[in-house]
Amino acid sequence: MRGRTAEDLGLLELLDPVAEAAGYAIVRLRLMGGEHARRLQIMAERPSDGDMNVEDCARLSRAISEIMDAADPIAGDYTLEVSSPGVDRPLTRLIDFETYQGHEARLELDRLAEGRKRFKGVLAGVDDGQVAVDLEGEAETALIPFSWILEAKLVLSDRLMKRGADLRAARLQSDPQNSQQPTSE
């Protein structure tokens, strides 16, 4: 799920060590577009706190650009775009399903399960490589094999927004440099 195509997966192999060395984890990588005007979109975060600010994006972009220029793995021109996963982020790793337990998500599978491919429910953790989801209208918690999940994304909600605001406030409070500087927010 972190990469869709063989080309995406090859780029992840090349760029994961670069991101890790710079102190980041790639959440998702997509190479989009045809032969012209391609875009390499990378969503990343700091593993320590899940944050990714503008300075982090610039730092990771420079590190990736260096390797991409040297290795030249993409034929033709492309634009590199490095960003945070955002509040209603994609869930691409098992750890994401644990981290966001209790939050609502939409999942799309690569096969039919109980007559459908799309599910919406509250994440209930991970159990032996399976994602536990409390589905709307179902009494039992569903266990979905992680390998069946094609795409998963958090649903934007007040609870999710509050979580993000609380984490940001805690980070700002713990960083004396940020708390002494006025902000434009």
CA-nearest of 78, 102, 66 to 29 is 78
The more confident residue out of 182 and 25 is 25
% of the chain surpassing 70 pLDDT:
94
φ/ψ of residue 7, rounded to 5: -65, -40
Give, in order, the Cα–Cα distances in Å from 28 to each of 41, 175, 184. Answer: 8, 28, 30
Integer Cα distance of 11 and 42 in angstroms: 10
Integer Cα distance of 150 and 148 in angstroms: 6
Mean pLDDT over the full length of the chain: 91
* pTM given for the model: 0.86
Helices (H), the chain: 6-22, 54-71, 94-99, 158-174, 176-180
Integer Cα distance of 159 and 151 in angstroms: 22
CA-nearest of 61, 63, 54 to 80 is 61
pLDDT confidence band for 165 (50 / 70 / 90): confident
